Amino acid sequence: MNVMRRPGFYITCAALAVLFLLPMLWTAYSSVHGRQAAADNGFGVDNYRRLADYGTGIGTYLANTTVVALVAVSVTVVTTTLGGYAMARLAFPGRNLLFVVTLAILMVPYTTILVPLYILLGWIGLQNSLFGLGLVMAVLQLPFGLFMMRNSFEALPVELEEAALIDGCTVGGALRRVLLRGVLPGVVTIALFSFLAAWNEFVAPLIFLTDGEKFTLPVALFNLQSGNLGSVDFGALQAGVVTSALPCVAVFLILQRYYVRGFTSGALKG
């Protein structure tokens, strides 16, 4: 009997789903229910109203986080796609050594390179900049992205590229018109990982941003949690958690079919 058809398999999956979803569902429920959410202790959106008016406005923090995420995703996808193609298709001295050194960065705690990156951004005038923070987040995603894209390109038959070149395509044209379609799941996987990392990052924005109007959503929620004189608005904080999580859930649900295929193509060759 196929294991996928056994009742125990579905029971286990359902139990795991409840285990992961219950905290989020409870947070969503608490954000619209209770004394802080409604005057009659029922259901209301007062928590979200207070969150919208917090600091410079929740819209500002959402916009800042979106800018950082878009910069990180764009730089990561372009760089790892071109780098993965070069690692998989082009023969040059030191290619394997360069790939191993790049992967070795994964073993280094990323917090140890934040100070050198902070100094580097100061040299190029990008300290306290959303664009500079986006570049930092892209740098942190490059090793994993390069690994995924190299394996994704190696999983494609070389004959596809050769046929495109015979038909008159340049190397760039073959990459853009033929190969990118084959590695699209890998590209989407890298974009998804980069987006989630940039959207939820807390330490890097805390270090690189000093202007309160440029804070990202995780930093703003941390300040909300700290409160004034030790007071914490738990209702608004729960509303902030829901607001922060919804874009991640939406992006994942939209791209999940590409994500699963991309993770498989990036992990296997042949």
Over range 228-247, report the average pLDDT.
Answer: 81
How much is the pLDDT for 53? 84
How much is the pLDDT for 4? 53
189 has pLDDT over 50: yes
41 has pLDDT over 80: no
How much is the pLDDT for 226? 61
Q: Name the pLDDT band for 227 (thresholds 50, 70, 90).
A: low
How much is the pLDDT for 229? 59
Per-residue pLDDT of 43-79, as tens digits, reads 888 888 888 888 888 889 999 999 999 999 999 999 9
Token reading at 109: 């705690």
Per-residue pLDDT of 151-172, as tens digits, reads 888 888 888 777 888 877 787 7
CA dihedral for 116, 119, 121, 126, sign (positive or negative): positive
147 has pLDDT over 80: yes
Give 185 or 198, the one with higher predicted confidence. 198
How much is the pLDDT for 266? 44
How much is the pLDDT for 114? 85
* CA 143 to chain centroid: 14
21 has pLDDT over 90: no
Task: List the chain domain ranges.
Answer: 44-267
Mean pLDDT across the chain: 83
Q: What percent of the chain has pLDDT over 90?
A: 20
239 has pLDDT over 50: yes
Over range 215-243, report the average pLDDT.
Answer: 80
Per-residue pLDDT of 191-211, as tens digits, reads 999 999 999 999 999 999 988
35 has pLDDT over 80: no
3.30.110.70, 3.10.180.10, 1.10.3720.10, 3.40.50.620: which CATH number matches 44-267? 1.10.3720.10
How much is the pLDDT for 258? 72
